[in-house]
Chains A and B, each alone.
Chain A
Amino acid sequence: MSDDLTLTSVTKTFGSFTAVDDLDLTVPQGSFFALLGPSGCGKTTTLRMVAGLEEPSAGTITLGERDITRLKPYRRPVNTVFQSYALFPHLTIEQNVAFGLHRQGRKKVDAEVARMLELVELGGMGGRRPAQLSGGQQQRVALARALINEPDVLLLDEPLGALDLKLRRQMQIELKRIQVEVGLTFVHVTHDQEEAMTMADTVAVMNQGRIEQMGAPEDLYEAPATTFVANFLGQSNLVPGKVVRGDAEVLELDVEGTRLTADVARARVRDGAVWVGVRPEKVYLSHAGEEAGDDDNRLHDGIVSDVSFVGVSTQYLVRMPWGQELTVFEQNTGSRDRFRPDDKVDLHWRADHTFLLDASQDATAGVDRVGE
């Protein structure tokens, strides 16, 4: 029997504010699941409901066959790694880690605690107090304190938020390693899209209390379902267009007088007005009129308005004849000179890298990423 975590029509309201709105979610047992979204999107509230720290206003939460919706937090086989770590300052590291086992009535836990501290590479630190450890070490204590209970589900509430970038990258790899090693279900809440994509098997993008899209990181990135996902997960160029003709596989589009094509597989709408989307790193720049590559889609006569060198790549802003600015990333392979501002350029990309979104959605949704 599988012990999938399932949320069915879960709603949580605080007064007149709806934090989580009719949410359906299934987290398969043993998976690394990420809930990704901006601050205030309801992801932390969702996590707290799974932990039992908040009670849903409506809906049910089940773990396998068991309904845990109204179960007290201390009766749930679920543990949390808190954003602030919430280590007990009056207890030593060992006592912190042993806390959950002791509360479950276990007496001889020294060996297990030592083994767990080894796993998070804190062997020999057991006698210290939380205040004597660095942020990264405290984070690992919080992880050990939750993991030692071998919960059915481990919840991680932005556990890396307080760490600096380098340490965060290191901890991401470590967390992923530990998850594979112990094989528990991890539900990770974060607003950092890179973190979600590098660690999780499945990512659910949340916005305003709802799930916008759920799937493998590659699928979400390559074929976003909404403008919010297109903008929040990475960056996107969204150009207004119209479907003029289509068959079962390919759609023909009109974008400001230019003919483009797109695969039906990545089209969320198949007729009428659409947002024609393409990721900035999929676009290849060439001097205007120059014959380059055999990419099917080409937009002519852009003017480079801004060039920023970011080391691994160069980011261009290109002003199109209809006034819109599009973004293009180019790897700094060094095989050709960089373009300069005011250069006239054409933009090329492959037809199957084009995605089509509902034109009624806000093209700037999710652009203003909070907390970044």
Chain B
Amino acid sequence: MSAATQLPPAPVAAAPAADVGEGAGRRGWTGYLLLLPGALWLTLFFIVPTVSLVSTSLYDPSGSLATGYSMTGHWQNYTQAISDYSPQILRSFVYALIATVACVLLGFPLAYAIAFKAGRWKNLMLVAVVAPFFTSFLVRTLAWQYILGDNEALVSLLRKVHVLGADGYLLDTPFAVVTGLTYNFLPFMVLPLYASLEKLDPRLLEAGADLYASPVAVFRRVTLPLAMPGLVAGTLLTFIPASGDFINSELLGNPRTRMVGNEIQDLFAAGDYPTASSLSITLMAAIVVLVLLYVRRAGTEELL
């Protein structure tokens, strides 16, 4: 406005100002209208369930589905859940962490190869990364039951080369659970990493080499920092769902590999809604805290 009043011919200055005001108003309404479906969706399927989950977590645990629950603000549900299930919570995070690290170790070379070395095979390799999604998560995990089975080729081979003992086995071990997690979440690591690496100008790598950086130094100083957004996105997309997963432990593990997801599932199934809810909220809060710490440490706040 102050700029407009400085212009000598007042009427001329006023006209565009009015125009701008009207345009801004229309744009404003359009924005809210476009926001509406998403906002409704979020309210219905995120805010309402979360509020319901939080309130359920504070119900009196003496109630049941048959007799009904009473809202007593029973925060002891949380202390109870944490003291009863902290081993499973910890185990979930350890498994998820190992699986995430394994995904990085497997996914980074794969994404790098697709981005820089694949040539005309690039699209085919990307399809191959995504292809497993054409079958259900459950079926793919069941397939691993077979692959890791006691009488199958892999175990026989490992026994023969004495990596496993004569009666050694893979299925129903923590190894099997982490393998399943790694397998199932690998594409979520590869795709964001690929997206980051694909944008990386190969001339930057040449410039690094030209400026006395050995291949290792080029990787540390140029490739890795520029792939950081993809790496952070990939680790989040792997770690978060892996922490809450229960299918892999259910199908590939044993009672001592139970993760917090299995406990929540069983508590809901047993009708103990308050404990199940408080355990869910605890898991969610713990993940949020871990992710915040991680993202701050990685220096990629703009992702949030």
Digit string of A296-314 for contact with B (CB within 8 Å is 1, else 0)?
A: 0000000000000000000
Q: Is B15 in the interface zone, CB < 8 Å from A?
A: no
Determine which of A53, A84, A89, A99 lies in contact with B211 in the assembled complex, contact meaning CB atoms within 8 Å: A99
Is the Cβ of B212 less than 8 Å from the Cβ of A103? Answer: yes
Q: Is B162 in the interface zone, CB < 8 Å from A?
A: no
Binding site of B, secondary structure by majority: helix, strand, loop or mixed?
helix
Is the Cβ of A80 less than 8 Å from the Cβ of B207? Answer: yes
- Chain A interface size band reads 20 to 34
Residues of B within 8 A of A72 (CB): 209, 214
User: If the complex has contacts A99-B221, A103-B217, are A86 and B206 also in contact, measured as CB distance less than 8 A?
Assistant: yes
Determine which of A86, A104, A146 lies in contact with B203 in the assembled complex, contact meaning CB atoms within 8 Å: A86
A86 to B208, CA, bound (A): 9
A90 to B225, CA, bound (A): 7
Q: Is B210 in the interface zone, CB < 8 Å from A?
A: yes
Digit string of A118-145 for contact with B (CB within 8 Å is 1, else 0)?
A: 0000000000000000000000000001
Q: Is B153 in the interface zone, CB < 8 Å from A?
A: no
Q: Is B226 in the interface zone, CB < 8 Å from A?
A: yes
User: If the complex has contacts A82-B203, A82-B206, A103-B217, are A149 and B211 also in contact, measured as CB distance less than 8 A?
Assistant: yes
Residues of A within 8 A of B214 (CB): 72, 74, 103
Q: Is A45 in the interface zone, CB < 8 Å from B?
A: no
User: If the complex has contacts A86-B201, A86-B203, A89-B226, are A73 and B209 also in contact, measured as CB distance less than 8 A?
Assistant: yes
A90 to B61, CA, bound (A): 53
Q: Is A64 in the interface zone, CB < 8 Å from B?
A: no
Residues of B within 8 A of A73 (CB): 206, 209-210
A196 to B110, CA, bound (A): 45
Digit string of B219-232 for contact with A (CB within 8 Å is 1, else 0)?
A: 00110011000000
Q: Is B33 in the interface zone, CB < 8 Å from A?
A: no
Interface residues of A in 139-186 (CB under 8 A from B): 145-146, 149
Shortest Cβ distance from A104 into B: residue: B212
Residues of A within 8 A of B225 (CB): 90
A365 to B213, CA, bound (A): 42
Residues of B within 8 A of A88 (CB): 204, 207-208, 221-222
User: If the complex has contacts A89-B226, A90-B226, are A80 and B210 also in contact, measured as CB distance less than 8 A?
Assistant: yes
Is the Cβ of B212 less than 8 Å from the Cβ of A86? Answer: no
Interface-centre pick from B209, B211, B213 (highest chain A CB count, 10 A): B211
Residues of B within 8 A of A52 (CB): 209-210
Is the Cβ of B226 less than 8 Å from the Cβ of A74? Answer: no
A145 to B212, CA, bound (A): 12
Q: Is A267 in the interface zone, CB < 8 Å from B?
A: no
Q: Is A51 in the interface zone, CB < 8 Å from B?
A: yes
Interface residues of A in 55-85 (CB under 8 A from B): 72-75, 78-80, 82, 84
Residues of A within 8 A of B207 (CB): 80, 82, 86-88
Residues of B within 8 A of A51 (CB): 210
A72 to B204, CA, bound (A): 16
Q: Is A100 in the interface zone, CB < 8 Å from B?
A: yes
Is the Cβ of B211 less than 8 Å from the Cβ of A103? Answer: yes
Residues of B within 8 A of A78 (CB): 210
Is the Cβ of A74 less than 8 Å from the Cβ of B213? Answer: yes
Residues of A within 8 A of B222 (CB): 88
Residues of B within 8 A of A74 (CB): 209-214, 217
Shortest Cβ distance from B213 into A: residue: A103
Interface residues of B in 116-145 (CB under 8 A from A): none
A79 to B204, CA, bound (A): 14
User: If the complex has contacts A86-B201, A89-B226, are A53 and B212 also in contact, measured as CB distance less than 8 A?
Assistant: no
A51 to B203, CA, bound (A): 13
Residues of A within 8 A of B217 (CB): 74, 103
User: If the complex has contacts A88-B204, A99-B221, are A53 and B210 also in contact, measured as CB distance less than 8 A?
Assistant: yes
Residues of B within 8 A of A104 (CB): 212
B106 to chain A, nearest CB (A): 25
Interface residues of A in 97-127 (CB under 8 A from B): 99-100, 103-104
Interface residues of B in 187-201 (CB under 8 A from A): 201
B232 to chain A, nearest CB (A): 14
Shortest Cβ distance from A51 into B: residue: B210
Residues of A within 8 A of B204 (CB): 86, 88-89
Shortest Cβ distance from B202 into A: residue: A86
8 cross-chain pairs, A with B, having the tightest CB-CB distances, nearest first: A86-B207, A100-B211, A103-B212, A73-B209, A86-B203, A103-B213, A90-B225, A80-B210
9 contacts between A and B (CB under 8 A): A51-B210, A53-B210, A72-B214, A74-B209, A75-B212, A82-B206, A88-B208, A88-B222, A99-B213
| A interface, CB within 8 angstroms of B | 51-53, 72-75, 78-80, 82, 84, 86-90, 99-100, 103-104, 145-146, 149
User: In the complex, given contacts A51-B210, A74-B210, A80-B207, what are 8 additional A-B residue pairs having Cβ atoms less than 8 angstroms apart?
Assistant: A74-B209, A75-B212, A79-B210, A80-B210, A82-B203, A89-B226, A103-B217, A146-B210
